[in-house]
Amino acid sequence: MEPDWEDQARTIIRVELVRARVNYKELAWRFEQMGIQETAANLSNKVARGRFSFAFFLQCMTAIGVTVVDINGAVSGAMLMKVPEGDNEGEV
C-alpha cells in the first residue's frame, strides 16, 4: 500500500505546530517577520490541502523554529497526539 504523501506532509506540519503551541494566526505573524505575506486562513488552507512546495514546508519549519524533522516520529506521533483539523484560522 502506497503512503498518502499529502496526508503525511499535512500531519508533519500540524504536529510541529501543536508541539510548538503555534496557531495559524501566530504562524502568519512569524511568516510576516520573515518577509513572507500569508494570511492565517491561507496558511490553514494550504496545510489542509496537503499540496504545497517543499519551499513552503521549509518556511513553515523555520517559522515554527524546527531544525530537525523526524518524519517517522512525527507521523506515528500524530496518532498519539490526535492532531486537530484546524478549520478555524486561530486554531491549529
Prediction pTM value? 0.79
Domains in the chain: ranges and CATH = 5-81 (1.10.260)
How does pLDDT run across 46-87, given as a tens digit for each residue? 999 999 999 999 999 999 999 999 888 766 655 555 545 554
Helix, strand, or coil (residue 61):
helix
User: Which residue type is seen at 69?
Assistant: V
Helix 54-64 vs helix 5-20: angle between axes, to the nearest 10 degrees?
A: 10
Q: What is the pLDDT of residue 49?
A: 94
